Chain A
Amino acid sequence: MASIWEYANPVKFSKTASTVLPWVSVLAAVTLAVGLVWGFFFTPDDFRQGSTVKIIYIHVPSAMMAINIWAMMLVTSLIWLIRRHHVSVLAAKGAASVGVVMTLIALITGAVWGQPMWGTWWVWDPRLTSFLILFLFYLGYLALWEAIDDPDTAADLTSVLCIVGSVFAMLSRYAVNFWNQGLHQGASVMRAGAVTGTDTEEKVSNIFFYPLLLCIIGFVLLFVALVFLRTRTEIHKRRTSALLARERLS
Chain B
Amino acid sequence: MPELGKYATEVLTAYGVSIVLTTVLVLASIRAARKARKDLEAAEARRDER
Give complex CA distance A233, B31 in Å. 10
Q: Nearest Cβ distance between residue B5 and chain A, in whole angstroms?
A: 5
Q: Nearest Cβ distance between residue B8 and chain A, in whole angstroms?
A: 7
Give complex CA distance A75, B40 in Å. 29
- Chain A residues whose C-beta falls within 8 Å of the C-beta of B24 in the assembled complex: 101
Query: Tally of A-B residue pairs with Cβ under 8 A?
Result: 99
Interface of A is mostly: helix
Q: Which of A45, A52, A104, A112 contacts B21 (CB 8 A)?
A: A104
Q: Which of A40, A109, A230, A233 contacts B17 (CB 8 A)?
A: A109
CB atoms of B18 and A105 under 8 A apart = yes
Question: If A233-B32, A247-B46 touch, does A108 touch B14 (CB 8 Å cutoff)?
Answer: yes
Of all A-B residue pairs in the complex, the 3 with the closest CB atoms, nearest first, are A236-B36, A243-B43, A51-B4
Q: Write the residues of chain A forming the contact surface with B, with a CB cutoff of 8 angstroms.
A: 40-41, 45, 50-52, 54-55, 58-59, 62, 97-98, 101, 104-105, 108-109, 112-113, 115-116, 222, 226, 229-230, 232-234, 236-237, 239-240, 243-244, 246-247, 250
26 contacts between A and B (CB under 8 A): A40-B15, A45-B5, A51-B3, A51-B4, A51-B11, A52-B7, A54-B4, A58-B14, A58-B18, A62-B18, A101-B22, A105-B18, A109-B14, A113-B10, A222-B22, A222-B26, A226-B29, A229-B33, A230-B32, A233-B32, A233-B36, A233-B37, A240-B43, A243-B40, A247-B43, A250-B50
